Structure 1
């Protein structure tokens, strides 16, 4: 059962979906079954060549990979929408930073959630402990990924805008694949003789920027012998793009991979809360793992996370930023008047708010209509 507001929102979105065009309408050239099979074989091979791949876990071979799920051709996106989304990223990241550093706001947001969400309560307890003690490290580093979907703003679908799905502040993956997809789609369009200009598929060098951030964080730690720790899970190669970016910038920086079970055995602490892993001092902790309840099957994993948060190592992200990326925060930020707490510029507020969609509190009073 839905409220009247929710029903209207769903009807509008269903109508939007009915206006989605098939590839033939976008590109004007249908593919025969035989040509489609050939295109799939060649483009997926090109994707593997360019690193758009993922590990196959159910195999005896540790490094067996397959192409990630991709579209054969790029989705058509209005240039003004792309520019808008790009222009808002610094404002979104600043917003998340301010939220994560506003203890009272975070407390208000999670007050009704902690009694019913055991995982969030455990993270909150870690956050409260570190907040009450005072952080051992003033520097933090955050990698975010802001996810948008397209929405028609006119009945005929002639005009579109971007709407925010979520902002990821923890293990924000996909940057390596995004880098490689430019070449993959340029290749597929060329194979099918679809004309395009280079600027219509702009370069995506996100890995370079993220690697620069990791290197900068390592430099701010001010110990050239310290390492960058990637907390990983065995089944994803996504973090290797970041390691390659770091390696290309500074080959002297050592990156080590460890899983939670390995860290439980190998992690210790030196003087002034230095984080030590297998004898090496850690300058930066990059979490590619640790965002889901299943990653914490016992209290040992939460104890491990607390230890890393209390250490001098620079965290990416801190537990505060991890919590700031929760859906609950996104829902509260979409309420009237909340953005004004963090942003003074009315134009920025208007632009950010224009990307919001309907978000509904689970603990709010719902008014039901007579029909369902």
Structure 2
């Protein structure tokens, strides 16, 4: 059984001095017709970032070891303008994307084919693959899994009409879906900034973003399916990272009887054990659900002990979010292969769904010599066309 919940995160394209990392910069005047003097801009920045902190759009200050010292996240001063039809299209595709990634994760032969040329040159993925193969060969101790995903898009002018825009997929995240709590709070932040400048808007133009509520419902449902009211939900976390606290609050609001515990990899290496029926025990308490907010990067596995820990958790009866199969299905390599001609047809029968999903793909290329040559040739042609 699979439980999934998805949140859509749109990467901003409108910049002020708060956020300058974008593919296309537009001024406040161009989008809103509201020129800001330097003095007013400074005041707006102070007011809006203070409001962001008040509403939880914050992160730990990286220059300090104090866990509770925070600063506002990088934000746009005003909301980026997104065509309603583009948002509707992105939302309408999410169930299809999730079904696709679930089918990929459960197609062992396809996964093996995708990673066959990668494992000899990518030591980290090879270690994860070995764990996945071990558990696949043994058979899972738990049939239920929970997958929380985030689909990232950027905007691109439509080829048939440069005045229109399409959403193009950046990546499909299946592990440690971050930013959802802050996405919830940004609605109020941007309503506030627009109100400060007397920029009119309708509520439906800045709709509520309750992604954390959906994620929390997924965790609570998984906990219920485990059928042990004394068991806990384990958050595997990085020290001093506050992002997961939003999710714990969502669980608490739904069911205050559910206990959430935080543990780091070093703590779990010492405290974790198994029960008679492969129950996952942490510090004497049974774990119903494991939610990974940590464990996605090579630096998280400095020794073999961390890989053994991941294998042990994967072998346990606890419900994983995500399983290692879903973790691997979220790799960029899978995204690249799915974008190749004819591959989506392996998993999807509906030709309209295939067309809609494929319309969000961008050019993705293998790194072998033959494909790299085609990539260079294609870009040289584009360069010549632009310089004519």
Same fold (TM over 0.5): yes
Q: State the Cα distance separating 1:363 from its structure 2 match.
A: 1.5
Aligned to 2:125: 120
Q: State the Cα distance separating 1:56 from its structure 2 match.
A: 1.5
Say yes or no: does 1:288 pair with 2:286.
no
The TM-score with structure 1 as length reference comes to: 0.93
Q: Separation in 2 of the partners of 1:174 and 1:99?
A: 25
Task: Decide whether aligned partners of structure 1 residues 60 and 292 sit closer, same or farther in structure 2, where only a CA change above 3 A counts.
Answer: closer
Aligned to 1:101: 106
Q: Separation in 1 of the partners of 2:341 and 2:63?
A: 48
The runs of 5 or more residues in structure 1 that have no matched partner are 1-16
The TM-score with structure 2 as length reference comes to: 0.89
Answer whether contact 2:68 2:240 (CA < 8 A) is retained. Answer: no
Q: Separation in 1 of the partners of 2:98 and 2:65?
A: 41
Q: State the Cα distance separating 1:21 from its structure 2 match.
A: 3.0
Aligned to 2:68: 63
Aligned to 1:172: 177
Say yes or no: does 1:48 pair with 2:53.
yes
Task: Decide whether aligned partners of structure 1 residues 346 and 178 sit closer, same or farther in structure 2, where only a CA change above 3 A counts.
Answer: same
Residues 159-215 of structure 1 deviation map (CA, whole Å, 9 limit, x = unaligned): 000000000000011110110000000000000111111100011001111000000
Aligned to 1:13: none
Q: Separation in 2 of the partners of 1:191 and 1:241?
A: 27
Say yes or no: does 1:145 pair with 2:117.
no
Which one of the candidate residues 210, 217, 223 is aligned to 1:212?
Answer: 217
Q: State the Cα distance separating 1:234 from its structure 2 match.
A: 1.2
Q: Separation in 2 of the partners of 1:353 and 1:317?
A: 25
> What does 1:255-270 align with in structure 2 at a 5 Å threshold?
255-270=260-275
Q: Separation in 2 of the partners of 1:276 and 1:363?
A: 45
Secondary structure, aligned partner of 1:173: coil
Q: State the Cα distance separating 1:156 from its structure 2 match.
A: 7.0
Q: State the Cα distance separating 1:141 from its structure 2 match.
A: 0.1
Which one of the candidate residues 190, 194, 197 is aligned to 1:192?
Answer: 197
Residues 8-53 of structure 1 deviation map (CA, whole Å, 9 limit, x = unaligned): xxxxxxxxx9975322111001110110111001100100111000
Q: Separation in 1 of the partners of 2:161 and 2:212?
A: 38
Q: Separation in 2 of the partners of 1:125 and 1:197?
A: 52
Q: Which runs of 4+ in 1 moved over 6 A?
A: none
Residues 298-335 of structure 1 deviation map (CA, whole Å, 9 limit, x = unaligned): 00000000000000000000000000000000000000
Aligned to 1:350: 355
Aligned to 1:274: 279
Count residues with an aligned counterpart: 356
Aligned to 2:165: 160
Q: State the Cα distance separating 1:57 from its structure 2 match.
A: 3.6
Q: Separation in 1 of the partners of 2:171 and 2:62?
A: 28
Answer whether contact 1:19 1:157 (CA < 8 A) is retained. Answer: no
The runs of 5 or more residues in structure 2 that have no matched partner are 1-21, 384-388
Residues 195-251 of structure 1 deviation map (CA, whole Å, 9 limit, x = unaligned): 111100011001111000000000000000000000000132110000000000000
Answer whether contact 2:67 2:241 (CA < 8 A) is retained. Answer: no
Q: Separation in 2 of the partners of 1:296 and 1:21?
A: 41
Q: What is the aligned-residue RMSD (CA, Å)?
A: 1.5
Say yes or no: does 1:314 pair with 2:319.
yes
Q: Separation in 2 of the partners of 1:295 and 1:314?
A: 21
Aligned to 1:360: 365
Which one of the candidate residues 239, 248, 252 is aligned to 2:244?
Answer: 239
Q: State the Cα distance separating 1:62 from its structure 2 match.
A: 2.5
Task: Decide whether aligned partners of structure 1 residues 364 and 99 sit closer, same or farther in structure 2, where only a CA change above 3 A counts.
Answer: farther
Task: Decide whether aligned partners of structure 1 residues 227 and 133 sit closer, same or farther in structure 2, where only a CA change above 3 A counts.
Answer: same
Q: Separation in 2 of the partners of 1:138 and 1:106?
A: 19
Answer whether contact 1:109 1:332 (CA < 8 A) is retained. Answer: yes
Q: Separation in 1 of the partners of 2:63 and 2:78?
A: 29
Aligned to 1:3: none
Q: Separation in 2 of the partners of 1:230 and 1:204?
A: 23
Task: Decide whether aligned partners of structure 1 residues 119 and 87 sit closer, same or farther in structure 2, where only a CA change above 3 A counts.
Answer: same
